[in-house]
Amino acid sequence: MKKTLMAAALIGAVSFFALPASAQSQESLRAELQAALTGNDLDAALDLADHLYNTARAENDAAGAGAAAYSRAEILTAQNAHEDAARAYEQCEDQYRAISAAAQSLQCALRAATSLQSAGKPGNGLDKLQDVARELEDIGQDQSGFAVGVYMALAQATLPPKFHRLEGARSKREKTIAYTNKTMRALEAIGQAKSEHYASALMLRGEAQEDMQDYEAAAASYKAFLELYPNLPNASEGVYENARNRYQITQSEMDDSEDDTFTVTGKDGEEIVLTIERKREVRSPRAGKETRLADGASVRAKITLKADGRVEDIEILSSKPNEKYGESFENGVKHWRFIPPKGVSGTDVPPFEYGMIFYVTRRNSAERREMLARETRPVR
């Protein structure tokens, strides 16, 4: 089934780029190429695409050669020969540029850039993407649907690893933010401001802002994502939860102080304000073979109190990415007190949900030891 779908996509690519044949030989070769793709014979299809490209070149048919080069590149991509595919896409680009076919040449250039990245040459791919972006701006197409894909690819390509603090990391994150902003402006221009692409750009911008320790801006990006994302048709609970965690982490970084109170709803619907007395710190699980350090790990639990506010029982409702975080939560929180107001017994407080997020502190993160330090903040 997978091979059939791949063949169908390749046939579609041949049809999209193909123009009327200038000679019977090209027409026959295209028919044979279609047949080879239909039969999932990629090796035969590659030979035919080569033959078609050389025939079109010999006949000075740039459009035919461009289409053949694109077919060849798509076949090589399907075979995971990404570096060869990049060269074929560049041949496609050159042929279409020769006849000023801007739409096709830019498409080939974009595909060449992504192939270079897939081939393990991200620097070359980034340079190519930037060339495409500049050309789009030169011809006034920087707020088109095609520009959306280019700017989003650039945003993803320029974002460094989360804790990369070497020279140039900040400027790369600034570029990521600039490209996500361009992505969103293009989406707004084509009426797609409430799309999955727009949500993805918001999330990526938030990550770059958070990594730059601009927590206020990051929180605003995450909040906008959280308002948009649930309304999308393919919204995922896991993606939403990750964004919610990141939003709460940035909120926590903006406010170092931990709340000393927690409000719950009483049995009669009244609000009960509990004063939190933290007797023991909640620590991250020790990293090891079975426990990876997970930025944004989370725990939610149901807590039952004794009369004096000490913890009677903790029921772990969720512990992600593994149960070790729930164990760490329980080992710390079981020593806490949630002191009810005067005249109210802890047994009058219904069991309530309480949670935490574990995350890597970004303060003074020049040393690995400090980068791996964990902090927790209550989830409200």
Instruction: Identify the CATH homologous superfamily for domain 2-252.
Output: Tetratricopeptide repeat domain (1.25.40.10)
pLDDT at position 365 over 50 = no
Residue 59, pLDDT above cutoff 60? yes
Q: What is the rounded CA–CA span in Å between residue 359 and residue 372?
A: 9
CATH superfamily of 261-379: TonB (3.30.2420.10)
pTM of the predicted protein model: 0.70
Q: Are 93 and 105 in contact (CB under 8 A)?
A: yes
**Whether residue 374 has pLDDT greater than 50:** no
Rounded to an integer, what distance in angstroms lies between the CA atom of residue 82 and that of residue 235? 31
CA distance 261 to 340: 10
Q: What tens digit of pLDDT does each residue of 306-357 get? A: 999 999 999 999 998 888 889 989 999 999 999 999 989 999 999 999 988 8
pLDDT at 261 > cutoff 90: no
Q: In whole angstroms, what separates CA 2 from the centre of its chain?
A: 25
User: Residue 261 CA to chain centroid, in angstroms?
Assistant: 36
Phi/psi of residue 255, each to 5°?
-135, 100
What's the CA gap between 350 and 212, in Å, rounded?
Answer: 42
Which phi-psi region, left, alpha or beta, contains residue 120 (left: φ > 0; alpha: ψ -120 to 50)? left
pLDDT at residue 163 is higher than 70: no
Q: What average pLDDT does this structure show over 285-303?
A: 71
Tokens linked to 221: 């990006």
Kindly state the helix (H) or strand (E) to which residue 226 belongs, with its residue range.
helix 215-228
Torsion of CA 168, 173, 178, 179, to 10 degrees: 100
Q: What is the pLDDT of residues 207-221, one digit of tens each?
A: 999 888 898 999 999
What is the DSSP-derived secondary structure letter of residue 261? E
- Which residues face 298 on adjacent strands? 320, 357
| pLDDT above 80: residue 164 | no
pLDDT higher than 50, residue 370: no
Q: Quick check: 259 pLDDT over 50?
A: yes
Q: What average pLDDT is seen over the chain?
A: 85
Please state, in angstroms and rounded to a whole number, the distance separating the CA atoms of residues 116 and 124. Answer: 6
pLDDT winner (highest mean) among 245-249, 274-278, 356-360: 274-278
Count of CB atoms situated within 10 Å of the CB of 256 = 9
Cα distance between residue 176 and residue 158, in whole Å: 6
Collapse the DSSP code of 338 into the 3-class scheme (helix H, G, I; strand E, B; otherwise coil) and give the result. Answer: strand
Give the pLDDT of residue 94.
Answer: 96
Domains of the chain, by residue range, sit at 2-252, 261-379
C-alpha 133/C-alpha 158 separation (Å) is 14
| Residue percentage of the chain with pLDDT more than 90 | 58
More confident residue, 9 or 201: 201
Is the CB of residue 122 less than 8 Å from the CB of residue 157?
A: yes
Strands 374-379 and 352-360: antiparallel
Beta bridge partners of 379: 355
Burial grade of 379 (CB within 10 A; 0-12, 13-18, 19 or more): middle
Find which of 44-48, 120-124, 352-356 is predicted with most confidence, using mean pLDDT. 44-48
Q: Considering only CA atoms, which of 119, 116, 124, 68 is closest in space to residue 96?
A: 68
Q: How far apart are CA 154 and CA 201, in angstroms?
A: 11
Cα of first residue to Cα of last residue in the chain, in angstroms, is 46
pLDDT digits (tens, 9 = 90+) for 186-200: 999 999 999 999 999
Question: Residue 5: its pLDDT value, please?
Answer: 45
Contact by Cβ (8 Å): 183, 145: no
pLDDT for the residue numbered 93: 95
Mean pLDDT of 349-378: 61
Q: Which range (33-47, 126-140, 279-293, 333-347) has the least confidence?
A: 279-293
